[in-house]
Amino acid sequence: MKKRKVKILSIKNKKHTALPYKTSFIVLIFSVFTLFLVGQFFGSKKTLDQSSPCANSISCINDLSGKYESNKKEGEFMGKKVGVPKESDYLAMPVLGEKTGADKRIYVDLTNQRLYAFEGEKLIYNYLVSTGKWGKTPTGDFEIWVKLRYTTMSGGNSRLNTYYYLPNVPYVMFFYNDSVSKSRGFSLHGAYWHNNFGQPMSHGCVNMKPDEAEKIYYWVDPPTQGNTTHASKENPGTIITIYGEAPAE
């Protein structure tokens, strides 16, 4: 009888010990699944909370052709559709009388949302601009590294209502320095999708009225050559100094 009781007890113990292993396996699967969901949530949250590493996530990486895309007739900005101007709307003659090799310099005042262009001590242009609202415009001294006659800009996030898709952005002047790489895609450029200049309205770039951006585009170095103009040692880009702090909403 004792052996039988022991045997029965042993069986009961086996049944008892088998349950935790099964439960542990289920718990393990559930934990892995939970961690996956948490990772997805925080991964997406990180994507939502952080601005895109590239202010112009299409052209600064893939397309530096500078060509007008005639099949692109509609864009999107902050949840609204916007019409894309025709190429003929921009076919003005280049500004004459620029001084190549002159001591040109651009200053962007974030506090007052203004751009100043100087030749030596002489103020040549003074325009209202719109700098970063949904992405910070970097401060410091920068240099233009390429000029594009047109480009497509896209970025933001639709879930935060910051998505934008803007074909044929005109008069684009990309700038960089040792701390802000070319791949970040910051630039001065014309903006046809809003008319709220003097207030922050961009994802980090410096927005300008298209006709004023045109003047700056043909004025700055390197001298314009076709749809795409790269700076070089022989023809370095104009220095852009950005300072101040954009007004709070």
pLDDT, one tens digit per residue, over 205-214 is 999 999 999 9
Structure tokens at 157: 């996030």
> Taking Cα atoms as reference points, which of 64, 109, 97, 91 lies closest to residue 244?
109
pLDDT of residue 146 exceeding 60, the answer is yes
Pairwise CA distance, residues 249 & 246, whole Å? 9
Q: What is the pLDDT of residue 127?
A: 98
pLDDT of residue 93 exceeding 50, the answer is yes
**Over the chain, what is the mean pLDDT?**
79
Q: Give 143's contacts (C-beta < 8 A, 6+ positions apart).
A: 175, 176, 177, 231, 236, 237, 238, 239, 240
pLDDT of residue 155 exceeding 60, the answer is yes
Q: What is the pLDDT of residue 208?
A: 97
Using CA atoms of 198, 200, 203, 206 in order, give the dihedral in degrees to the nearest 10.
30
Q: pTM value?
A: 0.74
Confidence of residue 249 (pLDDT cuts 50, 70, 90): low
Q: What is the pLDDT of residue 224?
A: 92
Confidence of residue 215 (pLDDT cuts 50, 70, 90): very high
Q: What is the pLDDT of residue 10?
A: 42
Q: What is the pLDDT of residue 12?
A: 45
Q: Greater confidence, 12 or 235?
A: 235
Q: What is the pLDDT of residue 58?
A: 52
